[in-house]
Amino acid sequence: MWTLLLFLLALVAFIFYNTFVIVEMREEVILERFGKYHATLEPGLHFTIPLVDRVAYRQETREQVLDGLVYLKVMDSYKASYGINDYRLAAVNLAQTTMRSEVGKITLDDTFSERDAMNEAIVQELDKASDPWGVKVMRYELKDIQPAQDIVRTMEKQMEAEREKRAEITESSGERDARINVSEGQREARVNEAEGEAREMELIAEATANGIERIADAIAQPGGSLAVKMRLTEQFIDRLGEIVDGANVSVLPMEAANIKSIFEGASEVTGPVRQS
């Protein structure tokens, strides 16, 4: 009697346990009936037929991180369950294969400087290949690249040569700029000097022109011509006296030797002035 009762209680518990299926948040359940796909259960409480229906797969729909490299999300639980045996392992293996292929397309220097572009290219290839699995690759993060020691030494030599080249270019650019600055300074000095000389010549010419203009105005005045002649005669006599005083032997012009002609010339100049 007790054995039958315990059997009935166990049967009821088994039926009750297999009648209700609880699906957690960010999860989907693949339900099979008689061994075939029947339905995809969303989060919540669901009723099933004991011994007829069974939970075949539970798929996480939140973003998953595989091996610290691949970030993916299940978009179709049916494809993820029946399209491939283990989409996680397949995604990791495909990521490694794609990564090697992308690295082989570029130089080693570019693998460090263009890491973001490589990650984007790998994501596109993975997303394209994983579409039949019902999985979407969200992103891929390429970890540190550790090349062989001989490659590292070669890269160090290359970087050292590049630094020396940049230093030489910088030094030559500085010397060139210095020469340009000196040349421009000298050119500016020559321009300023030429402008100063031109200005000086302009002022002298202007002063000379003004002097000539005033002399011409003075000559045009009444008695101006005679005054000029008298002034010229005075300067001639003064200059002649300086020559006589400074020389041991006096040499006089022919006109100056004729003293009478000198005084006659002076009287011709001064005579009309007195009359005026």
- The fold adopted by the segment(s) 63-146 is Tetrahydropterin Synthase; Chain A (3.30.479)
Mean pLDDT of the region 125-147 = 78
Mean pLDDT of the region 252-256 = 52
Percent with pLDDT over 90 in the chain: 0
Residue 42 is given by DSSP the state: P
Instruction: Tell me the pLDDT tens digit for each residue of 151-172.
Output: 567 767 777 788 888 888 888 8
pTM: 0.44
Instruction: Tell me the pLDDT tens digit for each residue of 91-135.
Output: 888 888 887 777 777 666 666 667 777 788 888 888 888 888 888
Instruction: Tell me the pLDDT tens digit for each residue of 18-38.
Output: 788 888 888 888 888 888 888
Sheet holding 53-60, edge to edge: 36-41, 27-33, 53-60
CB 138 within 8 A of CB 130: no
Alpha-carbon distance of 172 to 166, in angstroms, equals: 10
Return the half-sphere exposure (C-beta side, CA atoms, 13 A cut-off) of residue 101.
Answer: 11
pLDDT given for residue 269 in this prediction: 44
150 vs 31, residue with greater confidence? 31
| Cβ-proximal residues to 109 (8 Å cutoff; 6+ apart), any chain | 155
Residue written as token pair 């500016």: 188
**H-run or E-run covering 28:** strand 27-33
Alpha-carbon distance of 143 to 115, in angstroms, equals: 9
Which region among 61-65, 138-142, 212-216 has the lowest average model confidence (pLDDT)?
A: 212-216
Cα 164 to its chain centre, rounded Å, is 22
- Provide the pLDDT confidence category of residue 271 given band limits of 50, 70 and 90: very low
